[in-house]
Structure 1
Amino acid sequence: MNQANQTYLFRTANRIVAGRHSLGRVGEHLPMSGTFRSALIFTGSSMVRLGYIDELKQALDRRGIFAEVTTGIDNEPTVDHLEEWNRKISGGGFDLFIGVGGGSILDAVKILSVLQTNGKSIREMIGTNLVEKPGIPTVLVPTTSGTGSEVTPNAIVTFPEEELKLAVVSDYLLPLLTVIDPVLTLSLPRQITAATGMDAFTHSFESYISNKANPFSNLFAIESMKLIARSIVRSYEDGASLDAREDMLLGSMYGGLALTASGTAAVHALAYPLGGKFHIAHGVANAMLLPHVTRVNMDSIFHRMPEIAAAIGLNTSSLSAERAAELVMEQIFAWTQTLSIPQNLAEYGVGEKDLDGLTEAALKVKRLLDNNPKVLGFEDIKGIYRKLL
C-alpha cells in the first residue's frame, strides 16, 4: 500500500441512524425537505409475522406516508426476477422504496430504484458508474449482520446463464436513510448468524489487506473486525444477547463502509462462482475460502497481520509478523469449526471436473482480482478450490 500519491474517496448513505428500536422512528429521520406520500416496503415474511412491518408502517403513517408491503423478492435474486419485478411496480406512483431484510432484499431494492428511472436494463448497468440518473429514494434496514449493503454503492445480482454473480456499482445506489436496529436481528437462526457474520468479517479483512486500502478503510475495517471477533461466537451461541447482536450489526455496517472505501479482493472473486453455479450461500463461500486465499496471499500481506491479530484480540506483541499471521489463520479456522461452517465443497456437489469452470468464472471478476495484493493465475485459483474438495 503506497499512500504517497493516493487520494481517498469516501461516500455512504445520506443519513445513518443506529440504536435499539430505531425502526419505530423512521419517519422522524427522513429529511424534512422530502415530500414523500407513498412507500413500497420490500421485506421477508418473518418480519411481517414478528410485527416489525406494522411498527414501520405506523412510523411512516405519523409522517403522512402511506405504505404498501411486498414479500416476493427471491433470495439471491436473478436478473430476470428483478426485471420482472421492475415491470410489476412500474406506474405504482411510489416515491419511496424501503428494504427491510438481508443483503438480497437490500440489493434488490437498490437495483429496482434505478431501474425505475434510468430506462436501461440491469445488464446495461453492470459495472462501475454506468447508472446515469438517480433512482427512487431508498431507506435500507438490514436484518442480518453480513453484507453491509445498507451503506455501500454496490448491488449484486445473479446471472444464471453465466453461473456468476455480477455487480452494479454507482453512487446512485446509496440510500437516503439507513436504519441500524439490532432488535431486528434477534430472531436470526444460528446458521444465518454464522454465515453472515463471517461474510462481514471477510469484508473487513479483505478491505484491510487490499491494494486500495487507505486510512478511511483501515479505520472502519479494524473496528469492524474488533466488534465481530468479540461477539460472533456469542451471537451464535446466545442469539438473545442484544449486546452481541448490536456488536455484529455495527461490525457489519463498518465492514460495508470499509469495502466502500477500499474494496474486497480474491476471496469474493472466488466466492461468486460458487454462489452462481452451486448456490452456496455467499457468507459460507467466503468463510470457506478466506483461510486458503489468505495462505496463498501471505507473502504479500504478512506485515499487515499483527494489526489484524490485535484487532481480533490475540496477544502477539512479542511474536514475529509471520507467527502473528499463523495465529490469525488458526483463529479463523477455529471460528469456522465453532460456527459449523462447512469446509468441503463436495457437500454441495462440487467435484474435480468443475474446477476449471469455476476458475474461468472467477477470473472474469477482474474488478476484485485486480484489488488482490497478489496476482493470482489460473493454477493458483484452481489450487485454492481444490483445497476445499
Structure 2
Amino acid sequence: MQQLYRFQTAAHIVAGRNSIQALADNLHFTGIHDVKSVLIITQPSIKALGVIDDIVGQLSVKGIKADINTNVLPEPTVGNIEEVFQCIGNEHYDVLIGIGGGSVLDTTKIISVLKTNNNSIRELLGTDLVAKPGLPTILIPTTSGTGAEVTPNAIVTLPDEELKVGIVSKYLLPKVVIIDPMLTLGLPKPITAATGMDAFTHSLESYISNKANPLSDMFALESIRLISASIVEAYQNGSSADAREKMLFGSMYGGMALTCAGTAAVHALAYPLGGKFKISHGVANSMLLPHVMEFNMDAITDRLSQVAEPMGIQIRGSSKAEAAGRVVDRIVEWTKILEIPQDLRSFGVEENDVPALAVSASKVTRLLNNNPKTLTLDDMEAIYRKLLS
C-alpha cells in the first residue's frame, strides 16, 4: 500500500508587519460571529510592553469584554496550568487569546480543551486523548522559537517525574494565528539565541526524522534557509525587522515541519534537562544538537549534506560526508557566536546525575522512535557526558 502523508495546521494565518493591529477584524475566523468576551493569556513581561493594552483597545471599540491572566510561568508545570485554569473558574469566554512564547501558547491550548472536556491535564497526556474541541483560540507568538502556534502539540513539565511530556491532539490547533515580527523586536539576546536555535532544531530534526516526507521536507528546508540567513543578524542587531521577520517565519515553518514529521532524539534528551534542572528548552536543544547529529552521522550523511546549501555553506567539490560535517561545524559555530552555554555543570548537573537523565530520556519513546538510529542507555549517557567539561 502506498504511503499516505497527512498534514493539518491552524485554520487561518494572518501574517505581516503590524498584523497585530488587525486582530479584532479577524475574530470572525474563530467561527464565533458575535464575540462578547475573551480571555487574554500572557505573562507580565508581555503586558509591560503595552501590546496587551492595544489589543484590549481594539476589542473595546467592538464592545468586547477582555479579561487578562498573566500567571503563566516559563516552562509551565501541570500545577501552574491548573492554577491558571482555576483562576478562570466558571467564567464564560467565547475566545481565548494567547500572546507570548511557547509556554503561553501551549498553556492557552490546554486551557481551551480543559474548558470543554471533563478531564485533568494528566489524563490528556499522550496522543489523541482529547475527546472534544476546545474553545476557539487565537495564538500570537512573540518569540521565534517553538512554532507552537501551528502545531497540535502542547508541552508540560511534570515535576514529580522531572520530565516534560506532550499532549498531542488536532483539537489543540488554533482557529487564528497572527504572525507579527514587530512583536519580536524587543527580545533580549539570550532569548533570541535560545528560541532561534530551538526553531532550527525543529527543522533539522524533522528533516532527518524517520517520518520525514515530502510535506515536512518543504517546510523544513525553507525554515532552515530562513533561520540560517538571519539568526546571527537577529542576535547581533535585534532591531532588524527583516531579520526578525525571517526568524518568525522560519519558526512557524519549523512548527509545520515537526507537525508533519516529528522531532527526534535531541528533544527526547532535552526534556529531562528541563524537567530536572530547569534548563530552558531552547538552550538544552542547542547544547545537544551537534552531539546527537554526530551520533546519527553514519545514518544521516546523505540527508544532512542536503541542508548545507540552504544553510549557506559552500560545498562545491565536497563529498557528502564533508558537506554533512560542515553542517555540524556551522551549528557549533553558531552556539559560540550566540553565547549558548556548553557545560551542563553550570546548571548543576554532575556526573552522578547522568544515568538518571538517560533513564528519563529513554521514556520519551514518541520522539526516540523518530530518530534514525536507536539509542541505548549507554549511548544517551555518552552524549550527556560530552557536555560535562
TM-score, structure 1 length as denominator? 0.97
Q: Please tell me whether the aligned partners of residues 28 and 63 of structure 1 are also in contact (alpha carbons under 8 angstroms).
A: no
Is 1:150 paired with 2:112? no
Tell me the secondary structure at the aligned position of residue 94 of structure 1.
coil
5+ long unaligned stretches in structure 2: none
> What residue is the counterpart of 1:323 in the other structure?
322
Are 2:3 and 1:6 equivalent residues in the alignment?
yes
1:100 deviates by 0.5
- Pairwise mapping of residues 193-204 of structure 1 onto structure 2 (< 5 A)? 193-204=192-203
Query: How far apart are residue 29 of structure 1 and its match?
Result: 1.8
2:186 is the counterpart of 1:182: no
Q: Which residue of 2 aligns with 1:310?
A: 309
Partner of 1:225: 224
Structure 1 range deviating more: 39-48 or 128-137 = 39-48
Task: Tell me, yes or no, if structure 1 residue 300 matches structure 2 residue 275.
Answer: no
Q: Aligned equivalents of 1:234 and 1:70: distance in 2?
A: 33
- Is the 1:77–1:104 contact (alpha carbons within 8 Å) kept by the matching residues of 2? yes
Render the CA deviation track for 1:51-83: whole Å, top value 9, x for unaligned.
Answer: 211211222234442211121111111111212
TM-aligned CA deviation for residue 45 of structure 1: 2.0
Deviation sequence 1:287-345 (CA, Å, 0-9, x none): 00000000000111001122210110012132111000111011000000000001110
Q: Which residue of 2 aligns with 1:348?
A: 347
CA deviation digits over 1:3-34, x for unaligned, max 9? x8321110000100100111110122222652
- Take 1:65 and 1:154, find their aligned partners in 2: how far apart are those partners? 29
3-state secondary structure, aligned to 2:165? strand
Q: What residue identity is the alignment partner of 2:258? A: L
Count of residues in correspondence between the two structures: 386
- Specify the SS of the correspondent of 2:299: helix
Question: Which of 26, 30, 38 is matched with 2:27 structurally?
Answer: 30
Match of 1:75, SS state, is coil
Q: Which amino acid in the other structure matches residue 17 of structure 2?
A: R
Tell me what 2:44 maps to: 45
CA contact (8 A) 2:162 2:275 kept: yes
TM-score (norm 2): 0.97
Q: CA deviation at 1:84?
A: 2.2
Q: What residue identity is the alignment partner of 1:6?
A: Q
Contact 1:154 1:169 in 2 (8 A): yes
**Percent pairwise identity:** 57
Q: Deviations over 1:177-199 (max 9, x none)?
A: 00000111011000000000000
Maintained 8 Å contact 2:210/2:372: yes
Q: Please give the alpha-carbon distance, in whole angstroms, between the structure 2 residues aligned to 1:298 and 1:61.
A: 55
Q: Which residue of 2 aligns with 1:134?
A: 133
> Paired residue for 1:89?
88
Alpha-carbon distance between aligned partners in 2 of 1:215 and 1:343, rounded to the nearest angstrom? 34
Residue deviations 1:141-171 (CA, integer Å, cap 9, x gap): 0000000000000000000000000000000
String of CA shifts for 1:115-159, please: whole Å, max 9, x gaps: 111110111100000000111111000000000000000000000
| Preserved contact between residue 146 and residue 196 of structure 1 (Cα < 8 Å) | yes
1:156-171 aligned within 5 A: 156-171=155-170
Q: Give the whole-Å Cα distance in 1 for the aligned partners of 2:56 and 2:358.
A: 46
Render the CA deviation track for 1:224-274: whole Å, top value 9, x for unaligned. 011100100000000000000001000000000000011000000000000
Question: 2:18 aligns to what?
Answer: 21
Whole-angstrom CA distance in 2 between matches of 1:164 and 1:185: 29
The 1-side partners of 2:174 and 2:249 are apart by 17
Counterpart of 2:255 in 1: which secondary structure? helix
| Map of 2:75 onto structure 1 | 76
Instruction: Check conservation: 2:266, 2:288, Cα contact below 8 A.
Output: yes
Task: Find the counterpart in structure 1 of residue 244 from structure 2.
Answer: 245
Check the 8 A contact 1:149/1:155 in 2, yes or no.
yes
Which residue identity does 1:123 align to in structure 2? Answer: R
- SS state of the match for residue 311, structure 1? coil
Instruction: List aligned pairs for 1:246-285, cutoff 5 A.
Output: 246-285=245-284
CA offset at residue 214 of structure 1?
0.5
Q: Tell me how far apart the structure 1 counterparts of residues 62 and 318 of structure 2 sit (CA, whole Å).
A: 57
Mapped partners of 2:62, 2:261: distance in 1: 37
Please say if residues 125 and 166 of structure 2, whose CA atoms lie closer than 8 Å, have aligned partners that are also in contact: yes
Distance 2:71 2:141 in 1: 17
- Tell me, in whole angstroms, the C-alpha distance in 1 between the residues paired with 2:174 and 2:386: 39
> Which deviates further from its counterpart, 20-29 or 101-110?
20-29
